[in-house]
Amino acid sequence: MYTYQMIGVADQNGKTYECKYGTYNKTDRFQFNSEASKIFDKQGYRGLFDILVHEDLWKLKNIKKMTVEDIEKELGYDIEIINKDDTDDVPSLLEILAALFDNN
């Protein structure tokens, strides 16, 4: 998929697309990687722009499905899955600091 096509589709469906030069989604826009930096360093903005405009680069970023065991193996340590609601009762740093300074 060409860049102009990908931007239209990604902005409609909200999904992330990737190529060897980085990723794009509606929220984060372009996130370029070191491969893009190499092109930019050698050929400047125009060189990178020419590649992004003229080459069929983009594909939908795949989601890797993993079990807890797979994740633990990848990370090298055990994890515990919790609900977001379980963390709501933990005070934020700002709340802790406010409480400390309110007592003085």
What predicted TM-score, i.e. pTM, was given to this entire model? 0.56
Give the domain range for residue 74: 68-102
Residues 51, 74, single domain; the answer is: no
Residues 40, 82, single domain; the answer is: no
Domains of the chain: total: 2
Residues 11, 38, single domain; the answer is: yes
Which segments in the chain show pLDDT lower than 70? Answer: 84-92, 103-104
pLDDT of residue 10: 94
Residues 51, 76, single domain; the answer is: no
pLDDT of residue 8: 92
pLDDT of residue 6: 93
Residues 25, 50, single domain; the answer is: yes
Q: What's the pLDDT tens digit per position in 19-47?
A: 999 999 999 999 999 988 888 888 888 88
Residues 17, 52, single domain; the answer is: yes
Residues 8, 55, single domain; the answer is: yes
What lies within 8 Å, CB to CB, of 50 at 6+ separation is: 43
